[in-house]
């Protein structure tokens, strides 16, 4: 292995010769050998967009030459294209402001930018701090990258995934709109509804979660850039933050603004807490939908069995022919992870001390993991389960005809007490509801047929 010597204010350090990073990144690699969780790819990409925008803003202010600006821009574009993915090795468990990740990007862009300048026969040289980090601090760049990464992940990945499953459930609700089934409350038989109505509830959950997520993410469009070290904007022009936000918006195709109060932007991450709360609400709905699906599909002969779902893979290494609701299991595990992430994010965001919160990397990691996992699992659940849901009409009809809760339709005619007695007697004797009703003497068989009609009990006129 060949090495080169890099230097920073601490002194000299050896770096593998083929690595694009410099001294501060190398110190982080050596000083934080903690876990396997790497800085999220989304944050790295957001940092590249940010550095490209800051170079343009500094050039606009006359602080950075055109040659240096273009070199940073070209190098950043290569990072965004994935050319240097292996050169961002840092773990989440590092300095709580994300300083090393900021410097990792500065060092890679400076080194690659200098190669570009040399290829152009330019005598200028980029410095990772003086040029690539000009007008910035890790304290305002990392929260800016957090917000950019979070907004893009939510709007470009999670929301479309929600919409895809929502569209499938809308189709299923219409497909099964006339299929009358027995309802269940408290895990006990209840009055009828249609399978379409039941699925429409799932669809509306996703619809409402999507609206809440869309609303909440708007608060993350405010960026901390321009606040520099403590929020005062020292070493940055007052127009720098708004200019960077404008360049980022133009590059990624969605609007961002400079935060109104940079003192808040550096020390508080309530926007991410709020948005992740909406993401957690989606996870709660996903948990309910997935659980309903696996309960309704339970069986095939000893469960509820009112719907069938696709058989995607063998379900047991010992029981031949067994098929399990694996997509529901995956989605509910993801929901559990998201709920745990929410606790971490909330606690971490509460730990801002004076002018800085130093739990930024763990907030970003958990937020983006939640969005990524929910995106992937919702798409998987849709493609491998929801689209294949079918009604098991024989089982549904048998459950409806045998249900004692149809007795509810008798309440207006004979009263609650007499109706309850009929249901209890039918259950005790193992007879049908109709037999018990006629035997009670409170109504005739014809009256029972006239009053107890499941199709009139589902709220459809």
- Residues tagged active-site: 186, 316
* CA 150 remoteness from chain centre: 9
According to DSSP, the residues that pair with 352 across neighbouring strands are 357
Rounded to whole angstroms, the Cα distance separating 60 from 427 reads 82
Phi, psi of 234 (to 5 degrees): -55, 135
Omega before 45 within 30 of 0, i.e. cis: no
According to DSSP, the residues that pair with 180 across neighbouring strands are 194
According to DSSP, the residues that pair with 12 across neighbouring strands are 7
196 Cβ contact list (under 8 Å, min separation 6):
172, 173, 174, 175, 176, 177, 178, 179
Q: Are 129 and 347 in contact (CB under 8 A)?
A: no
Q: Are 434 and 427 in contact (CB under 8 A)?
A: no
Rounded to whole angstroms, the Cα distance separating 457 from 461 reads 10
411 Cβ contact list (under 8 Å, min separation 6):
419
Residue 220 vs residues 154, 214, 217, 248, 438: alpha-carbon distances, Å: 11, 11, 5, 14, 65
Residue 102 vs residues 5, 53, 361: alpha-carbon distances, Å: 21, 14, 11
């Amino acid at each position: 292995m060949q090495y080169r010597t890099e230097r920073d204010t601490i002194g000299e350090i050896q770096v593998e010769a083929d690595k694009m990073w410099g001294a501060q990144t190398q110190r982080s690699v050596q000083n934080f050998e903690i876990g396997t969780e790497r800085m999220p790819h989304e944050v790295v990409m957001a940092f590249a967009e940010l550095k490209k925008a800051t170079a343009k803003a500094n050039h606009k202010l006359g602080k950075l030459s055109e040659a240096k600006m273009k070199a940073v821009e070209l190098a950043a574009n290569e990072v965004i294209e994935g050319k240097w993915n292996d050169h961002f090795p840092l773990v989440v468990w590092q300095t709580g402001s994300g300083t090393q990740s900021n410097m990792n990007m500065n060092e890679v862009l400076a080194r690659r930018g200098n190669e570009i300048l040399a290829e152009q026969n330019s005598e200028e040289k980029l410095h990772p701090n003086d040029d690539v980090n000009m007008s910035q601090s890790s304290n305002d760049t990392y929260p800016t990258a957090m917000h950019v990464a979070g907004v893009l992940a939510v709007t470009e990945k999670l929301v479309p995934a929600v919409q895809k499953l929502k569209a499938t459930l809308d189709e299923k609700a219409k497909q099964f709109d006339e299929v009358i089934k027995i309802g269940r409350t408290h895990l006990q038989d209840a009055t009828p509804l249609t399978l379409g109505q039941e699925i429409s509830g799932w669809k509306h959950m996703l619809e409402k979660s999507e609206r809440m997520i869309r609303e909440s993410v708007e608060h993350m469009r405010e960026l901390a850039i321009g606040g520099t070290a403590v929020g005062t904007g020292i070493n940055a022009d007052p127009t720098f933050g708004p200019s960077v936000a404008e360049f980022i918006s133009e590059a990624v195709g969605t609007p961002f603004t400079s935060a109104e109060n940079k003192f808040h932007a550096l020390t508080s991450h309530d926007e991410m807490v709020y948005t992740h709360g909406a993401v957690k609400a989606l996870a709660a709905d996903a948990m309910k939908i997935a659980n309903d699906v696996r309960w309704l599909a339970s069986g095939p002969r000893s469960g509820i069995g009112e719907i069938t779902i696709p058989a995607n893979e063998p379900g047991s290494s010992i029981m031949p022919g067994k098929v399990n609701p694996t997509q529901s299991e995956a989605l509910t595990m993801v929901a559990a992870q998201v709920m745990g992430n929410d606790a971490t994010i909330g606690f971490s965001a509460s730990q801002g001390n004076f002018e800085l919160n130093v739990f930024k990397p763990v907030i970003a990691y958990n937020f983006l993991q939640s969005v990524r996992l929910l995106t992937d699992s919702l798409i998987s659940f849709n493609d491998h389960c929801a689209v294949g849901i079918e009604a098991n009409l024989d089982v549904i009809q048998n459950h409806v005809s045998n249900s004692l809760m149809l007795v509810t339709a008798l309440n207006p005619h004979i009263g609650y007490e007499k109706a309850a007695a009929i249901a209890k007697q039918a259950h005790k004797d193992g007879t049908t509801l109709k037999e018990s009703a006629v035997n009670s003497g409170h109504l005739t068989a014809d009256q029972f047929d006239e009053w107890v009609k499941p199709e009139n009990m589902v709220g459809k006129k």
